[in-house]
Structure 1
Amino acid sequence: MEKNHQPEKSLSFNKGDDDDKNFDADKTLVIDADKTLPVTESPKCSNEEKSAAAEITEVEMENPEEMETGQTEIEEPEEKEEGGEQGEPAPPPEIEYTLETASDDVEHFLSNLSTPKEEEVEAGLEIPEFVEKYLDLVEKKIFEHELPDTKVKGSQLPEDDASFFKAVEQISKLYKNLSAVFKLDSNQGPLINRIGRIQQRAMSYLEDEFRSLLEEYSRIVEPDQKQEVADQPDQDQSAESNDESNFPGYSQEVLANLNKIAKEMISGGHESECCEVYMITRSNVNEETLNKLGFEKISIDEVQKMQWEALEREIPPWIKAFKQCASVYFPGERKLAETIFSDYPSLSDSLFSNLIRGVFIQLLNFAEAVAISKRSTEKLFKFLDIYETLRDNLLAIDSVFPEECAKELRAETTTARCRIGETAICIFCDLENSIKSDTGKTPVPGGAVHPLTRYTMNYLKYACDEYKDTLEQVFKEHSKIERADSTSRPRDYEGDSQNYNNDEENHSPFSGQLMRIMDLLDSILETKSKLYKDIALSCIFMMNNGRYMLQKIKGSKEIHQTMGDTWYRKRSSDLRNYHQTYKRETWMKLLGCLNLEGLNVNGKVVKPVLKERFKSFNAMFEEIHKTQSSWVVCDKQLQSELRVSVSAIVIPAYRSFLGRFSGYLDPGRQTEKYIKFQPEDIETYIDELFDGNPASMARRKT
């Protein structure tokens, strides 16, 4: 019979036949591993029993009494000298128990533990010894990852991060399952507490790595910088690829690692810690982003205390920040949250909404603070800039934010936009009040264009050229009441409006307000023209201001369209009337000196009367020249029209008079004394009028 040789010393327990000697249960079997036990020949045994006996190794008998009585066979393989004829091969080396093999054992254990029977739990379900060995290996793994030289560098997690993540996942699952089966005050409590501590340590490590990766972002390339890159052909492709792989400020590898860590932390029961790190880190990034755009957080109280010059400087950075956030940063932040928390869409929406809602409300608060600041006409255009920014980026809210959050922020944005719009209406209507309040009693020297006319027309022209559509919308959507303060308008205001507007109700609210301002300006200018004692000068004043208004309207398609051709033609007609009045009050009186009445008596020219006529003409013309050369006609075309018109009246009449009666004066001293001007001289002197510089008549006919 061939003896079995075992690589290890072993004990075999076999039941003997009826005639076998029973095993003495009262005796304790002690085996010295260093000594060879004698082999007792066993009775006949079945092959199955022999095989079973050979499989039992390294048996420790703590309670021999529990063993069945029977014949025991103790075998020890014979020691052969090395190199003997019957020498056996050396035993194979012991296989190392690694984290991978331990992980497989734990996975198998967990699968069997998933649905333990109640009686098994009550009976005290045992935890295999290899779990302790597995925990030792996991702790070692975590320790290796915590070493400074294995910390995250840039976007790289340690090379064996796959096995590490698997270990963390398994530890979390092990703790969750064992905590559900065993009570902490049971005999397995210390082991479960140890598993919990290891899991907490792993989660702390992941939390630090999550924060580190989130903080190692790069700033997104801004649109103007992208344009600069695009202008360089050699960098087109590289810029495009960089933009795709660095969104939003993170490489694809970093995003993948962030996604892994978030998934492990959340599945391991550390969702709140993960979300807190994400919220704090990204909040700091967003604040830094706003600062780089030039916008800093300003409270409503601070806005109220700021001077307009300082506040005005804050508006362009706010507009830039708002547009950038709506078009670039908010969509980017949404995509970032969806990428990192791809397995948790509801959590992604919640984090994004809570994070960006604060930034959005901060931007809206600035707009509302500006809306309630002190009103003045010069603020209108900045208010309209804010209004357009809120209006044009409203759709971005619906496309970026989740439905509930979008609904709330849309309402907040609409409220801020309404306040800005209402304030803009009040500011524009305040222009009417500023015109009324100009009650100065000092006439403008030389009948020039009044500063009120310049300011109002330039204000209206810029408003219509740059903001007409926005003003139309603002007045249409945000006018609370119909303005019906008829006492503040000129007496014939309604009649004039009906004459050239056909029906004011057919015009938009903004057009109606614009016409009221224009009519009011006309009325105020007419009142101011009466400050001039010289009627001719008052006509020059009205012509100057009227022409200035028409030129501004003619140069603005938008304001001309609003006022209409009828209004324009009426104002042109008014100018012609003032022109006729001016000529009548000045030059027609001069022509009275050339009247033929009384010059002929009984068919003879009365020399004394003729001399007086020449003398009166000379004196009056000199006075007119002296006076009106100091008058101002700013518009060169109007100035030329006036000079041509005056020359057409005076020169032909004077030439005719001179040609008819100059011969009645004695040549020499008498002619020089009474005929001071030739027709050419008159024309020259007329061309010197309306320059605003009094001129003396240095040239004389010799």
Structure 2
Amino acid sequence: MLKMLIFVDAIVALDPCEVAGLEQKMHILLCVHGALSAALSQLRFSSPSRLPSAQVARIQREIASLLSAKDDEATQAISGTMSQIWGCLMESMDASIRIQKIQTPHGSSDVHNVTRAATDHFGYLWDNYSSVTPIVFQAACRGYAAEVGDTKHPLASLTIQMMPCLEEKLDRWSKSFPDQGLRFLFMMNNYCYILQQLHDHNTHARNLLHLYFAQLSRKIKSHELRYPEVSWAPVLSCLRYRGSSPLPKFERTFCKTYNAQKLWKVPDPELRERLRKAITKKIVSGYTNYIKDNGVTTLKFSPQELQEMLRELFEG
């Protein structure tokens, strides 16, 4: 047994510097913790047919004490590794912000790679809910980690504490985008990804994080409403131009906006469809009303052509 427990010390002592290595370490530690907990449970709740001798009882106490100490080490190591992973992810987010400001100064609508990694991390924790929950609780009680607000659902409490840190960094990064429409699209894409990965793929998360998911949904809806106003209302406002004919100005502005945003991407099909409908309703209906009200007969684009073009938005 002593030779076996050396393995625990070796795993605890590992100190990888990359997220992938830390995640592998945590996976192994969870397996080790499970084995130690199972051994302790069998030792403590075994019911021998006869009372053990004093010597056997002493040996059992010593074994239980040793296993308990190693179990505590594994718990502390898992908690520490979880903190390391999150710290590395947030540091990489700060670094990527500095790099992307140089490489892609105009920004991108894609889901950020740190959003993917952070959501995958919490997805893994929720996929191992029964193993991770008592560890998070024990770590908080023993002072290895920050206190959890909800002791009944410590993993939910930890998620609600950590994910807003990611949201704040995403929001700060998006504010550097010159185009505010792209900023709203970026935030919607990232929030949708978090919802899909945590809400749709895990029953425990869906049941215990419903308030957090409702909050995310409200943020998505808020950006969804503001996006057409920021990006497409200026296009429609060209029809109120008081020059000789506002149509050329409308056509130029529409083409410029359309050509830029056609290359933007919205991965979620439902969000993509809602945005297209909102833009189409705003632009095509306003354009059609202008044509009817002013008796315009010669057009560069028919309302149907505009509608077909808008159906091509957000494919990337």
TM-score scaled by structure 1?
0.40
The partner residue of 1:566 within 205, 211, 224 is 211
Q: What is the one-letter code of the residue matched to 1:361?
A: L
Residues 485-634 of structure 1: pairs in structure 2 closer than 5 A: 504-505=149-150, 508-555=153-200, 556-563=202-209, 565-595=210-240, 598=242, 609-611=243-245, 613-634=246-267
Residues 193-227 of structure 1, C-alpha deviations (whole Å, 9 max, x = no match): xxxxxxxxxxxxxxxxxxxxxxxxxxxxxxxxxxx
Alignment partner of 1:367 is 2:21 = no
Offset of 1:528 from its aligned partner? Answer: 1.2
Offset of 1:541 from its aligned partner? Answer: 0.2
Task: Please tell me whether the aligned partners of residues 371 and 420 of structure 1 are also in contact (alpha carbons under 8 angstroms).
Answer: yes
Offset of 1:482 from its aligned partner? Answer: 7.2
Number of aligned residue pairs:
293
Residues 236-281 of structure 1, C-alpha deviations (whole Å, 9 max, x = no match): xxxxxxxxxxxxxxxxxxxxxxxxxxxxxxxxxxxxxxxxxxxxxx
Distance 1:371 1:447, change over 3 A: same
The partner residue of 1:478 within 139, 147, 150 is 139
Alignment partner of 1:458 is 2:112 = no
Task: Please tell me whether the aligned partners of residues 435 and 520 of structure 1 are also in contact (alpha carbons under 8 angstroms).
Answer: no
The partner residue of 1:660 within 280, 293, 303 is 293
SS in 1 for 2:186: helix
Q: Percentage identity across aligned positions?
A: 19
Task: Please tell me whether the aligned partners of residues 14 and 25 of structure 2 are also in contact (alpha carbons under 8 angstroms).
Answer: no
Alignment partner of 1:686 is 2:306 = no
Higher helix share: 2
Offset of 1:475 from its aligned partner? Answer: 1.9
Offset of 1:661 from its aligned partner? Answer: 2.2
SS in 2 for 1:681: helix
Instruction: Supply the RMSD in Å over aligned alpha carbons.
Output: 2.3
Task: Please tell me whether the aligned partners of residues 156 and 205 of structure 2 are also in contact (alpha carbons under 8 angstroms).
Answer: no
* Distance (Å, rounded) in 2 between the aligned partners of 1:553 and 1:689: 27
Show the counterpart of 1:173: none
Alignment partner of 1:637 is 2:270 = yes
Residues 276-315 of structure 1: pairs in structure 2 closer than 5 A: none
Offset of 1:682 from its aligned partner? Answer: 0.7
SS in 2 for 1:374: coil
Distance 1:581 1:507, change over 3 A: farther
Task: Please tell me whether the aligned partners of residues 655 and 679 of structure 1 are also in contact (alpha carbons under 8 angstroms).
Answer: yes
SS in 2 for 1:447: coil
Show the counterpart of 1:25: none
Offset of 1:684 from its aligned partner? Answer: 1.0
* Distance (Å, rounded) in 2 between the aligned partners of 1:482 and 1:374: 17
* Distance (Å, rounded) in 2 between the aligned partners of 1:424 and 1:413: 16
* Distance (Å, rounded) in 2 between the aligned partners of 1:553 and 1:690: 24
Residues 429-486 of structure 1, C-alpha deviations (whole Å, 9 max, x = no match): 2233123312122167531100001111111112102x2122211122233327569x
Alignment partner of 1:468 is 2:129 = yes
Q: What is the one-letter code of the residue matched to 1:469?
A: S
* Distance (Å, rounded) in 2 between the aligned partners of 1:397 and 1:482: 26
Q: What is the one-letter code of the residue matched to 1:681?
A: E
Residues 147-171 of structure 1, C-alpha deviations (whole Å, 9 max, x = no match): xxxxxxxxxxxxxxxxxxxxxxxxx
Task: Please tell me whether the aligned partners of residues 539 and 582 of structure 1 are also in contact (alpha carbons under 8 angstroms).
Answer: yes
* Distance (Å, rounded) in 2 between the aligned partners of 1:651 and 1:681: 10
Task: Please tell me whether the aligned partners of residues 109 and 186 of structure 2 are also in contact (alpha carbons under 8 angstroms).
Answer: yes
Larger RCO, structures 1/2 (Cα 8 Å, 6+ apart):
2
Offset of 1:394 from its aligned partner? Answer: 2.3
Alignment partner of 1:428 is 2:82 = yes
Task: Please tell me whether the aligned partners of residues 387 and 420 of structure 1 are also in contact (alpha carbons under 8 angstroms).
Answer: yes
Q: Unaligned regions of 5+ residues in structure 2, if any?
A: 17-21
Task: Please tell me whether the aligned partners of residues 583 and 646 of structure 1 are also in contact (alpha carbons under 8 angstroms).
Answer: yes
Distance 1:484 1:506, change over 3 A: closer
Residues 143-162 of structure 1: pairs in structure 2 closer than 5 A: none
TM-score scaled by structure 2?
0.85
Alignment partner of 1:448 is 2:110 = yes
* Distance (Å, rounded) in 1 between the aligned partners of 2:273 and 2:37: 48
Q: Unaligned regions of 5+ residues in structure 1, if any?
A: 1-359, 486-502, 599-608, 666-670, 693-702
SS in 1 for 2:108: helix
Offset of 1:642 from its aligned partner? Answer: 0.8
Residues 95-114 of structure 1: pairs in structure 2 closer than 5 A: none
SS in 2 for 1:658: helix
* Distance (Å, rounded) in 1 between the aligned partners of 2:143 and 2:133: 16
Offset of 1:618 from its aligned partner? Answer: 0.6
Q: What is the one-letter code of the residue matched to 2:229?
A: R
Residues 618-664 of structure 1, C-alpha deviations (whole Å, 9 max, x = no match): 1111111110011111111111111111111111111111222244x
